[in-house]
């Protein structure tokens, strides 16, 4: 009787583990273009399925920075693996809820594009979403492009790895490995 009970417990434990499987968030590349009235974001997120079964996972894609409550529009989410649009399950000013399906032992790239208004003093990109994946992001590459010479960057929450000028536009870049951010990428600026 005890062996039968232990056997049932093991089956129950394995069934729980199977339902608890989740995708790994392994890479992120985000480009933020700062204009005088808005922030235009194009982000590519790579997910990996480390299991031998297909996983469909619902996830939240956040928009706002530091509790900011600025409207966004033009949201487009593309599954780059199948070249199909992903329709959000739900969307509000704080973000979008989407479902991503990745076949066993495969990777999937998802591209997210949106335009978010700002208050003329602060804008940013959410990085702390990484903590919900329970392991560091293997690689993150982030770019800020200042679209207008009238925009002056006062500070950023992370020191850029590189600052350059291309086509008359200031560009800041950050490259992170084994990244577990504790704060968002916030950009403080003013418009002259």
Tell me, what's the pLDDT at 15? 35
Instruction: Convert the pLDDT of each residue in 152-164 to its tens digit.
Output: 999 999 999 999 9
144 is in which domain, residue-wise? 23-191
For position 8, what pLDDT does the model report? 34
Residue 151 lies in a domain: yes
Q: Which of 21-25, 103-107, 171-175 has the lowest mean pLDDT?
A: 21-25
Residue 171 inside a domain? The answer is: yes
Count of domains for the chain: 1
User: What confidence score (pLDDT) does residue 9 get?
Assistant: 34
Q: Is 39 exposed, middle or buried (0-12, 13-18, 19+ CB in 10 A)?
A: buried
pLDDT at res. 13: 33
Looking at every residue in the chain, the average pLDDT score rounds to: 85
CATH (domain of 113): 2.60.40.3680
Q: Is residue 112 part of a domain?
A: yes
Listed in sequence order, the residues at least 6 apart from 140 whose beta carbon sits closer than 8 Å to its beta carbon are: 27, 28, 29, 30, 127, 130, 174, 175, 176, 177, 179
Residue 128 lies in a domain: yes
**DSSP of 155-190:** EESS--SEEEEETTEEEEEEEEEEE--SS-EEEEEE
| 5 occurs within a structural domain | no
pLDDT at 69 over 60: no
pLDDT interval class at 133 (50, 70, 90): confident
Cα–Cα distance list, 60 to 7, 81, 116, 155 (Å): 37, 20, 17, 28
Residue 71 class from Cβ within 10 Å (0-12 exposed, 13-18 middle, 19+ buried)?
Answer: exposed
Residue 101 is assigned to a structural domain of this protein: yes
Q: What is the structure's pLDDT at 93?
A: 76
Whether 74 maps to a domain, the answer reads yes
Q: Work out the percent of the chain whose per-residue pLDDT is above 90.
A: 66
pLDDT digits (tens, 9 = 90+) for 78-123: 999 999 999 999 988 778 899 999 999 999 999 999 998 888 999 9
153 within 8 A of 172, measured Cβ to Cβ: yes
The answer on pLDDT for 7 being more than 60 is: no
Q: How many helices (H) and strands (E) does the chain have?
A: 1, 14
Note whether residue 15 is domain-resident.
no
């Amino acid at each position: 009787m005890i062996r039968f009970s232990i056997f049932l417990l093991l089956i129950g434990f394995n069934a729980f583990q199977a339902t608890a499987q989740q995708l790994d968030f392994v890479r992120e590349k985000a480009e933020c273009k700062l204009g005088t009235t808005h922030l235009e974001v194009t982000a590519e997120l790579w997910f990996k399925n480390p299991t031998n079964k297909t996983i469909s996972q619902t996830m939240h894609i956040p928009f706002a920075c530091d509790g900011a409550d600025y409207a966004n529009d033009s949201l487009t989410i593309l599954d780059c693996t199948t070249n199909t649009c992903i329709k959000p399950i739900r969307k509000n000013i704080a973000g979008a809820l989407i479902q991503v399906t990745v076949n066993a032992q495969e990777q999937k790239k998802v591209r997210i594009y949106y335009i978010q208004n700002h208050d003329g003093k602060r804008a940013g990109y959410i990085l702390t979403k990484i903590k919900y994946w329970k392991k560091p992001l293997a690689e993150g590459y982030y770019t800020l492009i200042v679209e207008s010479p009238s925009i002056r960057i006062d500070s950023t929450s992370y020191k850029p790895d590189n600052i350059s000028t291309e086509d008359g536009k200031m560009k800041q870049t950050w490259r992170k490995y084994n990244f577990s951010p504790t704060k968002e990428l916030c950009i403080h600026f003013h418009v002259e």
